[in-house]
Structure 1
Amino acid sequence: MTTQDTAARHDTLTGPSEAVDRRSPVSADAIWRLPVTVCRITQFLGEQTAGALLERAIASADDTLKPSTIRDQELVPDFRRSRSRGDFAAPELMAAIDEVLEAVEHTLGVSCRHTEPEYGLNVHNDGDFYRPHQDTDVRLAPRRLLTFVYYLHRTPRPFSGGELRVFDAALPLHTDTAGKWRERTWRDWEPEHDSIVFFRPTAWHEVRPVGCPGKQHADSRFAVNGWLCSPDPANRPAPS
């Protein structure tokens, strides 16, 4: 008996009132959870180079650190609380990132050829945090291709908390809308001294609250964070 004969026989036996339900068996409330890939490298620069960079970060005086902003230089202390310096120089870190970039591109599925780095120093002390966000928006999404965060602190670690929480994607299978926050899962990444993480800027992430009882600047959670960006069209030379 052929497959067609079998199907016809089955339909005859069930009859119209007992027709087989051929709709999808997947629940309309099903949620697709997809872990976000993060590349993490420890002991990235080595003890001597990392130590020198930490001392440079600690030497950033209060008058060079400004309250951190979001979006278009907007201060929202209920959403983000830390201090930042955009002109912090870390050429040794940029050179080390270049050395591993090919492997990171392969792992994250992104091409960073002809990109430009944008980065700065972020300092979190007692009670500081950064609520869940993405590193892209309508203005920056076309340019930011890769996020990196390099961590520095004294050892033993003089603060608690400050983990980087990266949220997994959580999307309803039957719609194009984002899932609710309560449906999301996540992984926390420790801000270990001389470690670096890379991830796509579209990933939702946050900085967990920091506890630093002594409140001393040198005991802060220091991070050099930034992006590899496609060239700014405004800076491209006009065609000849």
Structure 2
Amino acid sequence: MEQAGATEESQATDRRSPLCTDAIWRLPVTVCRITQFLGERTAGALLERAIASTGDALRPSMIRDHEVVPDFRRSRSHQDFAAPELISAIDEVVEAVEHTLGVSCQYTEPDYTLNVHNDGDFYRAHQDSTAEFSPRRQLTFVYYLHRTPRPFGGGELRMFDAALPLHTGTTGKWQEHTWRDWEPEHDSIVFFRPTAWHEVRPVSCPSKAHADSRFAINGWLCSPDPANTRTRATRA
């Protein structure tokens, strides 16, 4: 009888603590990547247009769309860069991307900039969208352009996997996260959810020449601005 009682007590303890308190839920982030996206001719023309963007067209890149913080993000951006051929190509694949990432881009509109990374430039880990910041962003895309052979090193897109402690329900520490680096290959594009944590690894560009930079068109498909929707309804 005494031995049976000890066994029952042990089983009760096991039922109360089915998981280790240090258990971590790890979930690899989903990324859609397409290579040779526009083709040699179109990509080459777009690259030349990007290289031609110099002088006052390029400004220090900002975080949260209004702050220049060199210790967190260092690059230059062209806010008014036009790439209609890229947007048309995205329209052709967006249905497959929606299905893969589990998002809906119906009625969205594109918003994008040209970003130029040269020697020593980087962008630390961040999210493109949160409940408080840019919640209209439904899908992130990054399209890469550069001279070949690649005249710079680094500049990988590091995508962090989710790491969630099961016993607290809060986001895990950064050292608990795993990641995958994606090469910034010319004429390739990646799509991912704007809530995913990611960063641009430091770039090494020995020549420091603008034309040898890591060029990328960073953008989002955004749900309509409610304010603009109300304005259109009022005018109608």
> Any idea what SS the aligned residue of 1:15 has?
helix
Question: Is the CA contact (8 Å cut-off) linking 2:25 and 2:166 kept in structure 1?
Answer: yes
Aligned-pair identity (%): 78
1:62 CA drift (Å): 2.1
Match of 2:95 in 1: 102
> Within 5 A, what are the aligned runs for 1:57-206?
57-206=50-199
1:16 and 1:33 map into 2 onto residues whose CA distance is 36
Question: Is the CA contact (8 Å cut-off) linking 2:138 and 2:223 kept in structure 1?
Answer: yes
The AA in structure 2 aligned to 1:30 is A
1:172 CA drift (Å): 0.2
- Which residue, out of 7, 24, 45, partners 1:31? 24
1:16 CA drift (Å): 6.1
Report the aligned-residue RMSD: 1.6
Question: Is the CA contact (8 Å cut-off) linking 2:155 and 2:214 kept in structure 1?
Answer: yes
| TM-score, with length taken from structure 1 | 0.92
1:65 CA drift (Å): 0.1
1:154 CA drift (Å): 0.1
Tell me whether 136-145 or 54-63 shows the greater mean CA deviation.
136-145
Question: Is the CA contact (8 Å cut-off) linking 2:157 and 2:198 kept in structure 1?
Answer: yes
The AA in structure 2 aligned to 1:83 is R
Match of 1:7 in 2: none
Tell me whether 121-130 or 136-145 shows the greater mean CA deviation.
136-145
Structure 2 gap segments, 5+ residues each: none
Q: Answer with 1 or 2: which has the greater Rg.
A: 1
Match of 1:40 in 2: 33
> Any idea what SS the aligned residue of 1:146 has?
strand
| TM-score, with length taken from structure 2 | 0.93
2:178 and 2:217 map into 1 onto residues whose CA distance is 26
Q: Which digits, 9 at most, give the CA deviation of each residue in 1:25-48, with x for residues without a partner? A: 310111111000000000000000
2:132 and 2:165 map into 1 onto residues whose CA distance is 27
After TM superposition, what 4+ stretches of structure 1 lie above 4 angstroms from structure 2?
none
2:61 and 2:96 map into 1 onto residues whose CA distance is 31
1:72 CA drift (Å): 4.1
Q: Which digits, 9 at most, give the CA deviation of each residue in 1:153-177, with x for residues without a partner? A: 0000000000000000000011121
Tell me whether 138-147 or 162-171 shows the greater mean CA deviation.
138-147
The AA in structure 1 aligned to 2:4 is T
1:217 and 1:24 map into 2 onto residues whose CA distance is 59
Match of 2:219 in 1: 226
2:55 and 2:203 map into 1 onto residues whose CA distance is 19
Question: Is the CA contact (8 Å cut-off) linking 2:130 and 2:195 kept in structure 1?
Answer: no
